[in-house]
């Protein structure tokens, strides 16, 4: 079995490259029947409205929903997180179709527009830190969503203090959220709910492979050694971060 990467749009090549560095075969998924050949799925960042339109065009929604409901591991990064959410706010007029399954409310462009994209160091969650490495990771937020509310089965892996974000005062959405929440200080940016992992940031755009290693641990076939994994050694791990400017900016 191999790891599927939804390849309609966005940073699917970058995810496949990280998987390769970890000795795991990642394959592009564009058609419903291709989901039958993969043990797990990564939904990359990009633009969730465009991705939804393309998924509809390729008749992917029923197969994607079934994949999630079957309990197969699925990781959504950024637009992928939006795609997995049960509910999204801040959508374009007319809304957009979601796969759903992740019991949360996500704000699509919580941190603002493209120019309000940013990078920051966040503490690495304990479960992800088992891979070793430094106590923090470089979180790359590109026109990023944030999770405003989660259901009881959702485990919060990372959140971010709003005060840490430069754009806080210039972004009306953040201001509004800060006023309207009780704690008013943090938003959630990484969660796990059973077979679903979701991150508002882009680990595939850094050299730190620990989030991918963590996701691979959620895939039973890989743990049992029946997959195409070449090496589970952590010697391929790397913890450095490349700058956001090395990567294309999504529209
Ligand atoms: N980098 C990203 O994936 C951005 C996601 C974007 N906010 C959206 O709505 O799709």
Print the domain residue range for 149.
2-246
Establish if 251 belongs to a structural domain: no
pLDDT at 96: 82
Distance 202 CA to ligand 1 centre (A): 11
Distance 248 CA to ligand 1 centre (A): 13
Mean pLDDT of 218-243: 49
| Pocket lining: 250 vs ligand 1, CB cutoff 6 Å | yes
Does residue 227 have a pLDDT over 80? Answer: no
- Reported pTM: 0.85
Distance 11 CA to ligand 1 centre (A): 11
Distance 230 CA to ligand 1 centre (A): 32
- In the annotation, is 202 catalytic? yes
**Which CA distances in Å does 9 have to 12, 187, 251?**
7, 27, 11
Number of structural domains found in the chain: 1
pLDDT at 161: 86
Query: In whole angstroms, what is the distance from residue 212 CA to residue 51 CA?
Result: 22
Q: Residue 243 contacts by C-beta under 8 Å, 6 or more apart in sequence?
A: 119
Query: Which residue stretches of 98-201 are H helix?
Result: 126-129, 172-180
Tell me which of 62 and 96 has the higher pLDDT: 62
**Which CA distances in Å does 212 have to 57, 86, 143, 231?**
29, 23, 21, 14
CATH number of residue 14's parent domain: 3.40.50.880
Longest CA–CA span in the chain (Å) reads 51
The answer to ipTM > 0.85 is yes
Tell me which of 210 and 243 has the higher pLDDT: 210
Average pLDDT for the chain? 84
pLDDT at 198: 98
Q: Structure tokens of 183?
A: 């704690």
Distance 228 CA to ligand 1 centre (A): 31
> Are the CB atoms for 54 and 83 separated by under 8 Å?
no
- In the annotation, is 15 catalytic? no
| Pocket lining: 79 vs ligand 1, CB cutoff 6 Å | yes
Cα-trace Rg, the chain: 17
| Residue list for the binding site for L-glutamine | 46-48, 108, 142-143
Establish if 96 belongs to a structural domain: yes
Catalytic, out of 14, 15, 78, 107: 78
Tell me which of 237 and 85 has the higher pLDDT: 85
Query: In whole angstroms, what is the distance from residue 194 CA to residue 102 CA?
Result: 9
Mean pLDDT of 82-96: 86
Q: Give nearest CA residue, ligand 1 atom 5.
A: 79
Q: What percent of the chain has pLDDT over 90?
A: 68
DSSP single-letter state for residue 47: -
| Pocket lining: 78 vs ligand 1, CB cutoff 6 Å | yes
Model confidence band, residue 115 (pLDDT cutoffs 50, 70, 90): confident
| Pocket lining: 195 vs ligand 1, CB cutoff 6 Å | no
Mean pLDDT of 75-95: 90
Residue bearing tokens 């008013």 = 184
Atom from ligand 1 closest to the CA of residue 91: 9
Query: In whole angstroms, what is the distance from residue 231 CA to residue 150 CA?
Result: 35
- In the annotation, is 104 catalytic? no
pLDDT, tens digit, for every residue of 148-188? 999 999 999 999 988 777 544 456 555 555 554 444 578 99
Nearest-10 crossing angle of helices 61-69, 48-57: 110
Tell me which of 44 and 186 has the higher pLDDT: 44
| Pocket lining: 44 vs ligand 1, CB cutoff 6 Å | no
């Amino acid at each position: 079995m191999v790891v599927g990467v939804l390849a309609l749009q966005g940073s699917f090549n970058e995810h496949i490259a990280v998987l390769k560095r970890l000795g795991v075969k990642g394959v592009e998924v564009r058609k419903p029947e291709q989901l039958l050949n993969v043990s797990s799925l990564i939904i990359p960042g990009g633009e969730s409205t465009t991705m939804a339109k393309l998924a509809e065009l390729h008749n992917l929604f029923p197969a994607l929903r079934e994949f999630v409901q079957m309990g197969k591991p699925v990781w959504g990064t950024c637009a992928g997180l939006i795609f997995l959410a049960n509910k999204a706010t801040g959508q374009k007029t007319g809304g957009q179709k979601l796969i759903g399954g992740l019991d949360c409310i996500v704000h699509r462009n919580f941190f603002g527009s493209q120019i309000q994209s940013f990078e920051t160091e966040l503490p690495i969650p304990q479960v992800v830190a088992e891979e070793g490495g430094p106590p923090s990771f470089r979180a790359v937020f590109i026109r990023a969503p944030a999770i405003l509310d989660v259901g009881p089965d959702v485990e919060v892996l990372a959140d971010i203090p709003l005060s840490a974000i430069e754009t806080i005062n210039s972004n009306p959405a953040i201001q509004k959220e800060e006023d309207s929440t009780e704690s008013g200080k943090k938003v959630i940016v990484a969660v796990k709910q059973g077979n679903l992992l979701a991150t508002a940031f882009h680990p595939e755009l850094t050299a730190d492979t620990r989030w991918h290693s963590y996701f691979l641990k959620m895939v039973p076939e890989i743990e049992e050694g029946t997959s195409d994994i070449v090496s589970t050694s952590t010697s391929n791990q790397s913890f450095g971060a490349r700058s956001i400017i090395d990567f294309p900016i999504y529209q």
